[in-house]
Structures are given as structure tokens and as C-alpha cells.
Chain A
Amino acid sequence: MSDARESDARAIELRKVSRWFNGGTVKAVDDVSFMVHPGECFGLIGPNGAGKTTSFSMMCGYLRPTHGQVRVMGEDPGRPGALKRRLGALPQDAVLPFGAKVGWLLTYWARLSGLPQPEREARESLEKMDLAQAWGMEPQELSHGMGKRVAMAQAMMGAPPVLLLDEPTSGLDPKIAAHVRGVIRDAKGRQTVVVSSHNLQELEELCDRVAILDRGKLQQVGTVSELTSRSAEFRVQIARGTVPLEAVKALKGCAGASLPQPAMLVVQYDAKVSPDEEMITATLQLLIGHGVFVLGVTRGRRLEDRVLELGEAPVVAAAVVSAS
């Protein structure tokens, strides 16, 4: 594949990127590589200090990498004017400037982005965030949630091909967070979206692929189902009764079963030997036959569990990236 075609297939690419602070004593991002395909929704996950915001900031051109290469739409984000009209960014902790009304600010930014109908674009974007009433308000009059949505509206203006959203729902109440997730879901497919979040359930719901970062290193990157081993594991929540663990292990295709908690049965299996539906049905039949009452079944590990395992997992950055 030629270079041009390769870059067409990569909306964003980080190649061996490191960002150090304090003369190299703090390695916020260390030798991280991954790529984001056009039109996909990509998640950045990790605990505090994992390097998510630093990676995000390098993609937006706010920070320069100490080593390595960042490319967004084939461009170096640090090059002046490189991503004008091509990138919408929701920075995590940027304060909305005071001294102007929200509508005026959005129109100003839309004009600066070179959008043909700045005021209309600003109004539509604010309406899309269900915040038309904020048009005449000053930023200091906005609640945290409203400010977040105004910031989100500025990122969405003009429907840029790449959207980078750092913690888009943090601090929002559940109803508004759901609305914001709906907006992101709408953008999927038409725009390349990168979402950084602590809310793993949200990322599971929104993202096609995710990268797990920890202490500046890339731990894993892949589809959500790959990371959660959805096709090879399920959990059964037990209401009451004694689980016949040995009988479960003896089921065809079962690779292992355990009770990490008294009310939680975890079953690993080989999906090639026993397809998902057969394995789950056989296990439930067995449990019910032994007088066990079941409350629910969850396929795969939750992403949260995968992230919680980080402390024990070895760093597999290079291997996983080559696979992606």
C-alpha cells in the first residue's frame, strides 16, 4: 500500500510517541503507538495519570511529543494551521473565556474556523447540545454541565472530520450525559471520534476500539470485545443455591470455571468447540437442574475488570500495536 493510501486508512496515528516532563523525570506518555481508522469511535481508557490527556493534547497540537510522530489526517498537529476546519476538540480543563456571551463566543470561533455561516452554525451546534437557552448567557453564569456542553458545542461546529473529546460526560447528570452520548453516537461513522473517559461503561457502549493506557504505557489496544474477551467468557449472577462447579467444568467446551465471589460464577470456554449460545444455555440448564436460582448473565468481562487488572498485566504495547 502506498504512503498516501496508508494515511487515508488512518485518521490518527501515533508512532512510538513519548512525552516527558521535567527534563525526562516524568514520562507522561512512553513509547505509545496506535492508530485510529476513519469513521470509527476510538476510546482512550486508563486510571488517573495514565497519559490519556497528554496523548489527547498531542493529537490536538497543544503539546509536542518529546519523541515519535503524531499524525492527524496525515498532518503534524503542531504545524501552524494544519488542522484548521478538520479537527474539533473538547479539551478537558479549558475554561471558557469570560467577557463575552456564549453565542458571541461560538460565532467568533465559527468565524475563525472559516465556517461559511458562523452564527447559524453556532446556533445549530448549541441546539444540538440542547442548550439554546445559553446563547445570551455569559460563561461565568453557566453551571458546570452547561459549560461542558458549550465546550462540546464548539467542538461539534462545522462537523469536522475528526472529533477529539476529552472526558465529554464528566460532571454531567445522567440525563444530560445520555444526551451527549447520543450526540457522539450520531457522529460515529460520519466523523472519526476519539473519546477519553473514566466511564468505562460509556466507552464500552460507544467505542469500536479502545486503547488502555497505564502509567504512560500502552497496555492493550483492540476492539471492545477483544479486550473484554466477550466471546470466551461469561458471568452468571447467582441468587441462591450451591453451584456444581465440577459439573460446570465438565461441560463440553468449558475451559474453566470459578467463583471469585460467592454469588458470581465465571465461566471460560472455547467458542470454537461450543458456540456462545450453546455454552450459556448448557450452563444455565445445569445450574437450574441443580436448584440454583439465577439473577442474570453477562457476556465477557466488563471493561472495568480489564482495566482493574492493569496492575498485574505486563506491558504489551509493541505486540498489540503490530497486531492492530
Chain B
Amino acid sequence: MEQLNEVAIIWGAEVRRAVRSARVITLLALYLMFTALVLMGLAYAFHQVQQQIDDQIALRGATQEAVQPQLEQLKQSFLGGLFSDDTALLESLAKVPLIVLLTFKVTLFFLPMYIAVMGFDQISGEIGPRSIRYLSVRARRSSILWGKYLSQATLLGGLVLVVDLAVIAVARWLTPSFQPLAMATTLLKCWLAATVFSLAYVALSSFCSSLFRSAAVSLIFNLFALFGFWLVNAIGEGASRVVERAAKLAEEDPSLEAPSKVYTVLGWLQYASPSHYSTNLLHPHFLKFLGTTGVYAAFAAAFLVMGYAVLRRRDL
């Protein structure tokens, strides 16, 4: 109970300090600006594509209703490439304006980097100048780690909500058929998905920040870790595609040689990256979403346990 109280006090204090910190405010503004840029770019692209489609329809003397099934099919195959070929997921995503999904995907790609930039000094920034000594005689080191982690997660949750609100508003402006109920559901889904996704990466930044006395080194290490995760995910997905394609070809022609086992092993690498599981965060089946949340919680727990193990043993 006493430890929970410590965590709550540190969490509250850190959030309060962060929302008054010029650096955090600047970073929040920069991220919002970046998202606005992505949104504007995508809105412009969508507008152009829509205009071309309308021109083509007019040129061929067809009606919007007549080409609608083809357009839907085009969207489905685009979403399949972007997310996954899970039918239930694709059906659910098809109801959401494409601009929302694209912005979600782009922001999700950059979110880990933003988290690293925002939270790289949460622990190391206190160890370097030794201000952590004022805390460590009053609170357990685990409470310091948890309190700071939760404050970062809270800030991220707030930021993601603002970003999602902006995206939904723009989508509504571009897609008048986007109804309030669908807007609310999409907002909730996207916010939950991004928040759950952030949990693991905030924990990663807490871990990296616990590792070093210098905040700059923590940031560099964090960015290297992100690059490492991105790399193993890319290698793993690439290798998996090779194995899947080979299996399909082998079905057509059994005489074809199976790909090397190395591809299968490399394919497993993708499971080591938190980003690999992001697709199912928008899954319409609650259990799938819950399972994915569990995976992210497990990543977060692993990073936090490692962070605590380091912080527990280190000199302050």
C-alpha cells in the first residue's frame, strides 16, 4: 500500500512537472505539427486521387454506384497490403476512412522514436546530476521507475488522444458519410491501439534510461534498440514471405525445392519486435485485441523488470 502511494505521488508530480516543462510542450507541439503535416499531405493525395477517379468515371460515362464495388475491392487489396489479409480485420477496416488508417499507420511508425526523444532522460536525467538521491531516500527505486513510467504513459495517452481527435475531425471533413457513432468508435479504437502500443515503447525508454548515467547515451542506445527492433521485424517479415510464397508455389508444382530452413528461422525474428503485433490492435474481435494487449503488456513488463534490475543494482 505504501509503495502504491509512492508510485502515485511520483506519477502525479512527474506529470505536473512535464506539462509545465518547456521541452515536453515543445515536443508535443512538434509531434502535433508532424501529424498535421502527414494529415495534410494525405488529404491532398486523397483529394487528387478522388478527383482522378471522378474524372475517369465521367470520361467513361459510368456512375459512382456502378464502379463502387471495384473501388471497394481496390481499397480492400490496399488495406490487405498495409495491414494483413485477415478477413474480419479487413472488413472492419473497410468501414473506416482510409485517411484515418494511413495516418494511424504512419504515426505508429514514428511513435517509438517520439517516445524515445520524450523519455530518454526520465531516469538518467536524474542519475547524472544525482538529483535522484533526493528521491531514493524517500521512495523505493521500483516506485521511482514505476512512477516515471506511468507519467510518460499518461502523457503519451494524452498526446495520442489529441492526435486522434484531429485525424478523426479531418476524416469527417473529407468523408461526409463518416457518421458520429463510427467516428466515436474509430476514435476509441485508434486511441486504445496507440496507447497499448506505446506501453511497450515507453517501458523500453525507461529501461534504456536506467542503463546509463548520461542522458545522451540513453537516447542513442534507445534509438539503436528501435533500429534493431525495426530490422529484426523487417528481416523476419521478409523471410516469412519467402517461406509462404515457396509453400504456395510448391502446392502448384511439388517438384520445386523447399526454401532453406534459414528462412524459417529468420521468420521467427519478427516475433521479437513489439511492432510486429500492432496490426491486431485494430482487430474487431475483442479476444484478439486482448491477446495483443497481453503481448504488449508482456513486452512492457519485460523492459520494466530489466530496468528495475539495473536500477536496483546501480550506484546513484
Contact = CB atoms under 8 A, between A and B. Distances in A.
B138 A84 contact: yes
A87 interface: yes
Contact of A81 (B3, B131, B312): B3
Interface in A79-103: 80-81, 83-84, 87-89, 91, 93-97, 99-100
A154 interface: yes
B137 A108 contact: no
A112 B135 contact: yes
A109 B2 contact: no
A274 interface: no
B137 A87 contact: yes
Interface residues of B, number: 30
A93 B138 contact: no
Interface in A87-131: 87-89, 91, 93-97, 99-100, 108-109, 111-114
Nearest to B147: A112
Contacts of A89: 133, 137
Interface string B68-84: 00000000000000000
Interface stretch (B5-13, B58-66, B265-273): B5-13
Contact of A83 (B131, B137, B142, B315): B137
B133 A114 contact: no
B133 A96 contact: no
B164 interface: no
Contacts of B45: none
A100 B315 contact: no
A273 interface: no
A108 B133 contact: no
Interface in A48-75: 57, 60-64
Contacts of B21: 99
B288 interface: no
B245 interface: no
B130 A91 contact: yes
B276 interface: no
A280 to B, nearest CB: 47
Contacts of B131: 94-97
B47 interface: no
Per CB-CB distance, the 4 closest pairs between chain A and chain B, nearest first, are A95-B129, A94-B130, A80-B140, A112-B138
Contacts of A112: 6, 9-10, 135, 138-139
Contacts of A83: 137
10 contacts: A63-B316, A80-B312, A81-B3, A81-B139, A84-B137, A91-B133, A93-B130, A94-B129, A108-B9, A111-B9
A273 to B, nearest CB: 51
A81 B4 CA distance: 12
A109 B138 CA distance: 7
A229 to B, nearest CB: 37
Contacts, number: 74
- Which DSSP category, helix, strand, loop or mixed, fits chain A's interface? loop
A97 B17 CA distance: 10
A80 B142 contact: yes
A97 B6 CA distance: 18
B248 interface: no
Interface in B16-42: 16-17, 20-21
B315 A63 contact: yes
B146 to A, nearest CB: 12
Contacts of A97: 126, 129, 131, 134
Indicate the member of B2, B131, B132, B140 with the most A CB atoms within 10 Å: B131
A113 B134 CA distance: 10
Contacts of A81: 2-3, 139-140
Interface in A230-259: none
A298 B137 CA distance: 42
B136 interface: yes
B315 A62 contact: yes
Contacts of B172: none
Contacts of B132: 94
A186 B229 CA distance: 58
B13 to A, nearest CB: 5
A165 to B, nearest CB: 13
Contacts of B20: 99-100
B189 interface: no
Nearest to B17: A99
B133 A113 contact: no
A61 B137 contact: yes
Nearest to B13: A108
B315 A154 contact: no
Given A81-B3, A99-B21, A113 B138 contact: yes
A104 B51 CA distance: 57
Interface in A134-168: 151, 154
B105 interface: no
A95 B130 contact: yes
Contacts of A84: 2, 137-139
Interface in A16-66: 57, 60-64
Contacts of A99: 17, 20-21
B138 A80 contact: no
Contacts of A113: 138
Nearest to B131: A97
A88 B13 CA distance: 21
Interface in A287-306: none
Interface in B92-149: 126, 129-142
Contacts of B139: 81, 84, 112
B215 to A, nearest CB: 13
Nearest to B142: A80
